[in-house]
A and B are shown apart, each in its own frame.
Chain A
Amino acid sequence: GQQLNQSPQSMFIQEGEDVSMNCTSSSIFNTWLWYKQDPGEGPVLLIALYKAGELTSNGRLTAQFGITRKDSFLNISASIPSDVGIYFCAGQLGSNYQLIWGAGTKLIIKP
């Protein structure tokens, strides 16, 4: 089936550092979504991208829809302790309302 490759699988960073993660696929997507999930909670939508090349910010978060429509990245600037969690990318193919999900990037802030 369709697959998204999300990397890195986990990140250990210092508070204040910038963070970058990405998702790639061999398929062309119409929509890219980035979610954050805290332990025991449902994923919360961070950024939605609908057009190739689109660059969208949400506070310290910035995400881009790749020009080829096969990839997307998420950057977090000046990380803070509440950024800890699992970040998931998800993409939509064609007119199917189902999402293809990445395996997640676990963000851990070193004390």
Chain B
Amino acid sequence: EADIYQTPRYLVIGTGKKITLECSQTMGHDKMYWYQQDPGMELHLIHYSYGVNSTEKGDLSSESTVSRIRTEHFPLTLESARPSHTSQYLCASSAPGQGLGTQYFGPGTRLTVL
């Protein structure tokens, strides 16, 4: 099972602020993902990475950006937060040796933009 960490767990911030949500995994997984989820609703993929220096946008349009400079680290940045960005952000990772597509999730960051 993957060890995957997200910080902060909760963030309340004002409109217009720049924020970075951190995600790290210690299992050496090559693939990492960011999802956006409203409470009790389905998950929407916003970014993914298949390895270092590889990033792609997901199905849900997002104003956030990501980077993958190191295998274990996949931060997500919002340059100017808005109330519409209020949501839960989930990071996940997967490795082909553990079954195609099987993803392991971090605990999430609950973001509130005032």
Stretch at the interface among B62-70, B77-85, B93-101: B93-101
| Nearest CB on B from A32, distance (A) | 9
Interface size for B (C-beta < 8 A) is 30
- Nearest B residue to A43 via CB reads B105
- Nearest A residue to B9 via CB reads A40
Measured CA separation A98–B50 after assembly (Å): 10
Measured CA separation A88–B31 after assembly (Å): 21
Contacts of B108 in A (CB 8 A): 40-42
**A25: CB under 8 A from chain B?**
no
| Nearest CB on A from B60, distance (A) | 11
Partner of A45, one of B40, B104, B106: B104
Contacts of B107 in A (CB 8 A): 41-42
Binary A-proximity of B28-57 (CB < 8 A = 1, otherwise 0)? 000101000001111101001010000000
Measured CA separation A1–B92 after assembly (Å): 22
**A31: CB under 8 A from chain B?**
yes
| Nearest CB on B from A72, distance (A) | 13
Interface size for A (C-beta < 8 A) is 27
Partner of B99, one of A43, A50, A101, A103: A50
With contacts A33-B101, A42-B90 taken as known, whether A103 is within 8 angstroms of B106 at the C-beta atoms is no
B42 x A33 contact (CB < 8 A): no
Contacts of A103 in B (CB 8 A): 41-42
**Which residues of A are in contact with B by a Cβ distance under 8 Å?**
1, 30-31, 33, 35, 39-45, 48, 50, 86, 88, 90, 92, 95, 97-99, 101-104, 106
- Offer 30 A-B interface pairs, CB within 8 angstroms, sorted by A: A30-B100, A31-B99, A31-B101, A33-B101, A33-B102, A35-B105, A40-B110, A41-B107, A42-B90, A42-B91, A42-B106, A42-B107, A43-B90, A43-B105, A45-B102, A48-B99, A48-B102, A88-B42, A88-B43, A92-B100, A92-B101, A97-B48, A97-B50, A97-B100, A97-B101, A98-B45, A99-B45, A101-B42, A104-B42, A106-B40
**Which residues of B are in contact with A by a Cβ distance under 8 Å?**
1, 6, 31, 33, 39-43, 45, 48, 50, 58-59, 88, 90-92, 94, 99-108, 110
